[in-house]
Structure 1
């Protein structure tokens, strides 16, 4: 079970990495494409600044590559190995998966990136 206080909670739900009390994102829906990457400047609960420096989230591009590969491998395994489609159909499944899940991949990458640098703080969560 995933609950507040675990890094996985902040990564999966996009919660503040310090207090887990609010979403980092202006719009919680990643498929609101014009607002997919818009984040608040700081947490309204604990005042944690999300952008520690200009261009902080550029590093999440490296994480995005790994997350994208994981999604692609999952699509391949499901389509080619489990459903036993041809390689062409498996390739199409990979492309459609990456396109369809791109907003989620981008947010997940940002969540992982910021959680590499910040940890949950029980005292801030109680504030």
Structure 2
């Protein structure tokens, strides 16, 4: 893929931020709610340890707030400005969007958080 080797690729796919060869998550589908936040201990390809320190991913809650706001603004613009709905309908659209996209927001936030601290390493990719 063209974007492989970039942070964008790792963020949107949930791939290992170091080698981008496999998913960080035990289950790729974020809608398996019992496994939404379960990550592997380390990458089986490059042996990168995902939990850099105890409670590392608590910081992703700050990112989650911003990502949630972005989803809410997108829902508002779509419902209120594009479809000319009432404010109450726009509010309902925001709530539904945040509930339906909650698992995606959680994973996206974790992916952004770990990619803030870890860079892709071309040397980790075996050809």
Mapped to 2, the partners of 1:109 and 1:116 lie a distance apart of 11
Alignment of 1:1-127 (within 5 A): 3-126=3-126
Q: Is the 8 A contact 1:2 1:8 kept in 2?
A: no
TM-score, normalization by structure 1: 0.98
Matched residue SS, 1:126: coil
Runs of 4 or more off by more than 2 Å in structure 1? none
- TM, length-normalised to structure 2: 0.98
Distance 2:68 2:51 in 1: 23
Q: Deviations over 1:56-111 (max 9, x none)?
A: 00000000000000000000000000000000000000000000000000000000
Question: Structure 1 residue 14: deviation in Å?
Answer: 0.1
Instruction: Give structure 2 stretches of 5+ with no counterpart.
Output: none
Aligned length: 127
**Superimposed CA distance per residue, residues 7-44 of structure 1 (whole angstroms, 9 cap, x where no aligned partner):** 00000000000000000000000000000000000000
